[in-house]
Chains A and B, each alone.
Chain A
């Protein structure tokens, strides 16, 4: 059963329809992809799911419970964590403190100082940022700051992890190690984790995602395995009529 479901979500900003009856479901133990051209509504969907935007209509369900009206912090405590496309790291705090803010809020052992530090170091280690733990995040390169956001989101012990373009700002090697990390995390039954991934790097998406939703002008135009999606004519049309959109699309969002 799907852990996270967005049902028939409509999001209007004045006359602009950012999401038009979009439905997305995310299963535990898998990495689910969400792709689409620029301005398709991917980030808007993330904002609706995490509660930053109230949808014009439609519902968001988590673990079978309707959370459409729940607040952002409440959803986080239920187990929805995310990263941001435009960085939202705590720039004046160190990488370590960024993660500690999340650990302190989401772990039972919150008053045990040493335990908090251990968990925070573990999370930074997972994304490979041990050596910059004490550096102020505002001074880190964009790619590293993005990884801080990932470590911070992992520290929330999420059941659903929403990643908004985690690979931008990373080199090929770093990207593949993040892909590897995601696959390991969802494969571990103890984590009981589901990942929803927005990404422009098609080889990355096709490599890690078990299922993919394709969004275009706010509508879901295709759902399926990477192979099915790549064969879909509507998807090809959406990606500028490109015959072979695998790897051909280089996006610089906003």
Chain B
């Protein structure tokens, strides 16, 4: 123990400091250190840190008071910044007026709306559903920005009071804008701290997240409290977005990615400690600015400066103490019978998939909008791209669907698989290497999960976001990872069983068969001891551990299996694309959308990956229709579906956490002759209406006589005499 700190903190700090010193020595750019340059780097860093602190404050406030970690914080900032631009620049409002309207009216309204429609229903939801819904809000807000403010014009948000006016600080000038940001960020953090710790509403906010019922009985109004939190969080996001926009430019993706830095800062404060989160943000700002000023990582790592946030997140995760296994947090709302596909149903299903694919591509099944002819190059290309995504989607099923662990970096895993394949097979493109790719990707997945598996699930989720960003900033851009020296394709056509799959139709069939094999493997895996054990750790980690299941190790194994699947899928993904581009292929948003779609499909179902075919398929279909040129409205509809579909579907998880395929299956299975149980279940459900939980009653208003009867029945003390009015209503 040094200074009362935990050994893991001391060791991590020491390693980080030594690492930073070594890095500094080896990458010193050689620019002269003067008090002027040093000062500029310092206060620019502080300014950046202050902006990130604003985002992090919003995250921490919402998380401590509602228990929901808001991935949409950055997107709220993006939307607000665009709205501010619309009012201030496009409609010539005064900046203060625009600021007041956006931050004071629009943002709190958005926060309250989100709370009423979605967030307050997530109280008892699983972490997967909670995060999926906030990610869905993020994707939807960004899509909306893209549709309302099309990217065809250049937009700039001006600095408050102009960039050239400011305080003179020795050799340079600190613009008012930046000074204001630093002061405002600190003022916000201090007042939020005061609000949470010292005021009545703040105490209520913190109490409600611990025990909503108990807090309600003591006079707190949970709904008012959670709406207040979301309004505050949303205002902070809006303010951050508007103030950062002049620096970064009005680009939705760039502005949105700021939130990942805020994740790291929030994690620095263990997600709940506001002052530490602000310190973390400032630290990040200083590290980023100083490293950019003094260090030169060479031409291959030019944008590596931006990865300080993921790196800090890794360090924090390593330093945090092991989380205790929680008792008494079992989700009790899953009161529905669940039946899993058995081996011969799986075989039939996979047969149907292959048959359908053959018939569709051969033109035997045709729809009116489509030529009856067999698919041409265009259709086959979109179908292949779609199937490759579906393969990647399969990797999420055991991980998210069964073990309940999140992964927002499926594309990074897939890209790693493609990289391994490239190094193994080289120009031969021999498919026999593919199983080995899977084997080599597994340890990579395990390595990613290892530091965070002993923490709560949210940290693992944040780790994967950081991983996705770090990989796309440091790993994939490096020219020797996926070299761009050759002319033409980096990933030539796969050769397997003596066949080169160079024609699109053959490759399509290879992909379909691989998908069927993946799905069938998942069916078998679900029925195996591993599937059971993974679901067990999702249902109750504490119980699993007391049965002798090593929880941390089991999580690591699931990540390894998922990474292996994603790695193999990545080979096909890269081959379909022919090239992997570090900027476009690994776009964070594509990964988010993929995870959303699989989750909305019903991520515990082996077939869930199939939903990932929709985006490439609809895009391809829209292109095909546009070419044919006679159904405009359909093209527009498909375009909008591609843009808004994933987010809207995932938001549906609030109301239907099991997902679309699950519900379709419930409707469909009674038709199957051997599913007597499904018919019986439907009948039973129709016969019996759900009685309200006792715990849900009586908090918002007095009991009604009917509820009193329900309670008595549940407690087994129902008198045969039905109580008359006045029994449960003290006011009458």
A139 touches B (CB below 8 Å): yes
Chain B residues, CB < 8 A from A156? 547-548
Contact of A91 with B546 in the complex, beta carbons under 8 Å: no
Chain B 401-417 interface mask (CB, 8 Å, partner A; 1/0): 00000000000000000
Binds A, one of B7-15, B134-142, B465-473, B535-543: B535-543
The residue from B336, B542, B544 contacting A101, defined by CB atoms under 8 A apart: B544
Contact of B548 with A106 in the complex, beta carbons under 8 Å: yes
Separation of A246 and B327 alpha carbons in the complex (Å) = 30
Q: Which of B323-340 contact A (CB under 8 A)?
A: 324-325, 327-328, 330-332, 334-338
Give the number of chain B interface residues (Cβ < 8 Å).
Answer: 30
Given A52-B542, A76-B548, are A138 and B335 neighbors across the interface (CB < 8 Å)? Answer: yes
A104 touches B (CB below 8 Å): yes
Chain A residues, CB < 8 A from B545? 51-52, 71-73, 76
Given A76-B548, A156-B547, are A91 and B539 neighbors across the interface (CB < 8 Å)? Answer: yes
Q: How far is the CB of B560 from chain A (nearest CB, A)?
A: 19
Separation of A113 and B549 alpha carbons in the complex (Å) = 18
Chain B residues, CB < 8 A from A81? 546-547
The residue from B332, B535, B536, B543 contacting A84, defined by CB atoms under 8 A apart: B543
B532 touches A (CB below 8 Å): yes
Chain A 85-98 interface mask (CB, 8 Å, partner B; 1/0): 01111111100011
Contact of B539 with A90 in the complex, beta carbons under 8 Å: yes
Given A86-B327, A88-B327, A92-B334, are A76 and B535 neighbors across the interface (CB < 8 Å)? Answer: no
Separation of A73 and B454 alpha carbons in the complex (Å) = 14
Q: Which of A142-164 contact B (CB under 8 A)?
A: 149, 152-153, 155-156
Contact of B532 with A100 in the complex, beta carbons under 8 Å: yes
B679 touches A (CB below 8 Å): no
Separation of A81 and B338 alpha carbons in the complex (Å) = 27
Contact of B539 with A53 in the complex, beta carbons under 8 Å: no
Contact of B338 with A82 in the complex, beta carbons under 8 Å: no
Separation of A76 and B332 alpha carbons in the complex (Å) = 25
A242 touches B (CB below 8 Å): no
Chain B residues, CB < 8 A from A53? 324
The residue from A71, A80, A89, A105 contacting B540, defined by CB atoms under 8 A apart: A89
Q: How far is the CB of B594 from chain A (nearest CB, A)?
A: 24
Separation of A52 and B540 alpha carbons in the complex (Å) = 13
Contact of A101 with B334 in the complex, beta carbons under 8 Å: no
Contact of B546 with A50 in the complex, beta carbons under 8 Å: yes
The residue from B331, B533, B547 contacting A91, defined by CB atoms under 8 A apart: B331
Q: How far is the CB of A99 from chain B (nearest CB, A)?
A: 10
Given A93-B539, A101-B536, are A72 and B336 neighbors across the interface (CB < 8 Å)? Answer: no
Separation of A50 and B539 alpha carbons in the complex (Å) = 19
B529 touches A (CB below 8 Å): yes
Given A73-B550, A84-B543, A93-B539, are A136 and B332 neighbors across the interface (CB < 8 Å)? Answer: no
Q: Which residues of B contact A (CB under 8 A)?
A: 324-325, 327-328, 330-332, 334-338, 529, 532-533, 535-536, 538-540, 542-551
**Nearest 10 pairs of A and B residues by beta carbon:** A72-B545, A76-B548, A88-B543, A90-B539, A88-B540, A86-B328, A105-B548, A102-B547, A73-B550, A101-B536
**20 residue pairs A–B, Cβ–Cβ below 8 Å:** A52-B324, A52-B545, A52-B546, A71-B550, A72-B325, A72-B542, A73-B549, A75-B546, A84-B327, A86-B330, A89-B330, A90-B539, A92-B334, A93-B535, A98-B536, A100-B532, A101-B529, A104-B529, A138-B335, A138-B336
Knowing that A76-B547, A88-B542 touch, tell me 7 more A-B residue pairs with CB under 8 angstroms.
A71-B545, A73-B550, A84-B328, A89-B540, A105-B533, A110-B529, A135-B337
